[in-house]
Structure 1
Amino acid sequence: MTPQDQSRAARDIAGRAPVIPVLVLDDADHARPLAEALVAGGLPALEVTLRTPAALDCIRAMAEVEGGIVGAGTLLTPEDVRAAKAAGARFGVSPGATDRLIQACIDEDLPLLPGAATATEAMALLEKGFDMLKFFPAEASGGASALKAIGAPIPQIAFCPTGGVSLSNKADYLSLPNVVCVGGSWVAPGDKMRVGDWDAIERLAREARA
């Protein structure tokens, strides 16, 4: 899977809904009902960050949910890529990009959404063949105005902004021609997950979808 192939696949996945939930999960028992609620609410692409010991088990459980497309976030090493793919991840997301990480995704046929925060980083990834990127950290890097400015001279690159994106500012990003979707954690708040309020999470997903 070449970088061009990866970007085509990542763009297709990102285009399924305006929001990709970014999920940090400590309890694998929450994974399946959470995924079912988010998918029912219209958000099929799910990013499980590899920041907790339960993350890979959560990916395994979510991979079984009909209609869902589970991916692994916070990919940092080739070992992360191999473990995520083995667990059932269908795409990967990284905060940045290294040659070793890119090659591992090529070897594993795992579509990668690599991170970039500057025009130079975006151009370097475009030179490698990637034209669908993660803009991270979005708000700390200047927000929607910065991404609009990057898009003016490099319109062929599309982005999924993540990092500080919320219900209150997502429309600022989604109004940009170079934004396919946004990534955010607000659709799966920890307090709702802890008490198993999956109906509330489905409502948040529907609100985000709208």
Structure 2
Amino acid sequence: MKFKNTNRFQLIREMFIYGNRLPAPGEIIRKSILKQIGFFNPALLQTQDYDFHVRTLLKNKIYIYQKPLVKYRQMINGSQIDNHSNLSILRQNLELPFVLDNFLKMDINLFIKVFSQDFKVFGKPTRETIPYFLGKIALKTDDQIRQKWGYETILNFIKDTKNLKLLNSLYSIQYKDIISLVNKINFDSKSQKINYKDTKFRKIIRKFLNKEK
């Protein structure tokens, strides 16, 4: 797979809408950047590189060297982490909201450069309304997990009545408009789905539940 040197702002937008766009193996990172953004989040297993890449891009520029430096081996028995098993898909779905939360910390100037093409639909954001705009953008994706995150982000935002009044004054948005956003969630989305009838998966879950007892 070839990774292009695309515009940093475009890359950040794609990372929000589509997922990780950078390969984990073969990275060379300055020590100063690690001090700035921290290391991998140990609480994440399936999306630790995705989370790290997002935090890196939000603060720094990157360059993608076009020649291959490493080879990635796919195990026949599917023992690698990204093996698309039921458990790996479940972990990815559960971890994704934590990764998306990183975008809520964006500087307004960076936010405008990254999502400028979306403002034609939603209007011009302010620093305070970034959660609302990110929620709306997430709701327009084809990923149900992102859609759910977007809806919950907006609901959390308007828990403070000052924010709802702000949306009303800036964009003439009312409470009924917020509630109707649930209709944007596509329950037949293209998100990776777990096969709960999978015998191996059910055995693992049963074993886990027995341990909890």
Query: Which TM-score applies when normalising by structure 2?
Result: 0.24
Q: Name the structure with the higher strand share.
A: 1
Q: Which has the higher contact order (CA 8 A, sep 6+)?
A: 1
Query: Which TM-score applies when normalising by structure 1?
Result: 0.24
